[in-house]
Amino acid sequence: MDNNNRSDSSYSESNLEAEELELEALELAMALRRVEYYQNRNKMPCYTCGLTGYAFIQELINGHPDRMYNMFRMDTPVFLNLCQTLEQSQLLEDDKHVTLIEAVVICLYILSHGAVMRVVAERFQWSKDTIYRQFKRVLKGLCGLAPHIIREQNRGQQPPLPEIRDKPKFYPYFKCFGVLKACFAILKHMPNYRLPRQHLIPIACCVLHNFIQSQSRGDRMFREYENVDMLIDGEAEGRPNPNIDLSPSNVALMSNVRDEIAKKMWRDCSHNKR
C-alpha cells in the first residue's frame, strides 16, 4: 500500500513538472512570436509633414517681422544675436540632428506659449524625446548666460537723482513680473517638469528678458509696460506706493524674512517627499 502511495506521489510530481515545462515552453514561444511580429510589421512614420522645423524657422526669419515677434517674443535681429551669443560663449552648439537655431526656437516656443511636448513635436516634426532633450540643453545654455546678464547695473556709481528715484515710472520692478508673464506664458502656470528642470525655467526667462532689453530698447512690449497707468494682469487697481524704506537695516530685515520663508518652504518640500 505504501509503495502504491509513493508511486502515485512521484507520478503526480512528474506530471506537474512536465506541465510546468510545457507552460514555460508555450510562454517562450508566444514571446518569440510577439518579438517577430513587432520586428516584421510595417511601421507607419508619424512626423512626415513637409514643413519641417528648420523650414518653418527659415520661413519666419525671411518673412514678415511680426511673425517672428508673435511666435517668439523678439525681433529677428535679436533672435539671431541670441543664437550667436550662445554659440560664441560655447554654451550651445549644433546637435547631431538639430541645429543650434532650431534648438533655440524649440525652447522659445515652449517658454513663450507654454506648449506641451506633443504639440511642439507636431510643430517641429521631431519625437517628443528629441524635443525634451533640446529644450533641456537650451535651458542650461540660457542659464549659463545668467551671471553675465542678470546683474546689477551701474554698481558703485553715483546714486540716482531724487527726481528719478521718486518717480514711479522708474520703478521697473513693479512691472517686471507682468512683462515676464506676458512674454512667457509658461510662467502663468506650474509646468509639469521635475524640480531640477523647474528652477531653470524662471532663470532662463529672466535671461531672455534682460537680453531682449539690452538688444532692443524700443521693444514694443517693454514700451507698452512703461505706461505708468497700465494695470498688470492680477494686480489690484492703483499703483503701489513708491515710498519704500530701503535703509540698510530694513533691507537686512527683509532679507532675513525672505530667507526664513525659503528655508521653511524647502523643509516642507523635503518632508513631503519622504
Among 190, 55, 185, CA closest to 126: 55
8, part of any domain: no
pLDDT at res. 239: 46
- 19 and 145, same domain (yes or no): no
Count, residues in the chain: 274
Q: Say if 7 falls within a structural domain.
A: no
Residue with cell 515652449: 110
Same domain as 218, residue 124: yes
Residue 3: its pLDDT value, please?
A: 52
Q: Among residues 43, 62, 81, which one ends one of the domains?
A: 43
Q: Are residues 65 and 32 in the same domain?
A: no
| Chain segment 15-34, per-residue pLDDT in tens | 767 777 788 888 888 888 87
Q: Number of folded domains in the chain?
A: 2
- Residue 134 makes CB contacts below 8 A (sequence gap 6+) with 95, 98, 102, 103, 106, 107, 126
Check residue 75 and report its DSSP letter: -
Shared domain check, 144 and 18 = no
Residue 224 lies in a domain: yes
Contact 183, 73 (CB under 8 A): yes
pLDDT at 149: 87
C-alpha 239/C-alpha 13 separation (Å) is 87
**Do 110 and 33 fall within a single domain?**
no
CA distance 172 to 1: 100
Residue 272 falls inside a structural domain: no
Q: Distance (Å, rounded) from C-alpha 211 to C-alpha 80?
A: 12
The answer to whether the beta carbons of residues 172 and 232 sit under 8 Å apart is no
Determine, yes or no, domain membership for 274: no
- My answer on whether 188 and 75 are in the same domain is yes
Reported as half-sphere exposure (CB side, CA atoms, 13 A), residue 149 has a value of 23
Does residue 113 share a domain with residue 232? yes
| pLDDT by residue, tens only, the chain of 274 residues | 555 555 555 556 667 677 777 888 888 888 888 777 666 666 667 766 667 888 888 888 998 888 988 888 888 999 999 999 999 999 999 988 899 999 999 999 999 888 888 888 888 988 889 999 999 999 999 999 998 888 766 656 666 666 656 665 555 554 556 567 667 778 777 677 777 778 888 889 889 988 988 887 666 665 565 554 544 454 444 444 445 666 778 778 888 888 888 888 787 777 665 5
Q: What is the pLDDT of residue 197?
A: 78
* 9 domain-assigned: no
For residues 28 and 116, membership in a common domain is answered with no
pTM above 0.75, yes or no: no
CA-wise closest residue to 208 among 116, 81, 89, 103: 81
Task: Please give the residue range of the domain that contains residue 29.
Answer: 14-43
Please give the pLDDT value at position 141: 94
Please list the alpha-helical segments (H only) found in the chain.
2-40, 53-61, 65-72, 76-88, 100-113, 117-124, 128-144, 146-149, 162-165, 176-183, 195-198, 200-215, 220-225, 248-273
3 within domain boundaries: no
Same domain as 135, residue 34: no
- Residues 143 and 231 reside in one and the same domain: yes
- Please, are residues 87 and 100 in contact by the beta-carbon 8 Å criterion? yes
Q: What's phi and psi for 92, nearest 5 deg?
A: -155, 145
Please report the pLDDT score of residue 237 as a whole number.
43
Same domain, 130 and 243: yes
Non-local (6+) Cβ contacts of 253 within 8 A are: none
User: Could you report the per-residue pLDDT of 75-125, keeping only the tens digit for each?
Assistant: 899 999 999 999 999 999 998 889 999 999 999 999 988 888 888 888 898
What span, in angstroms and rounded, lies between the C-alpha atoms of 177 and 273? 30
C-alpha span between 156 and 9 (Å, rounded): 95
pLDDT for the residue numbered 265 = 79
Residue with cell 511666435: 71
Residue 184 inside a domain? The answer is yes
Same domain, 169 and 36: no
pLDDT of 89: 93
Q: How far apart are CA 80 and CA 74, in angstroms?
A: 10
Q: Are 109 and 123 in contact (CB under 8 A)?
A: yes
Scan for cell 525672505, then name that residue. 258
Q: What residue type is assigned to position 161 of the chain? A: L
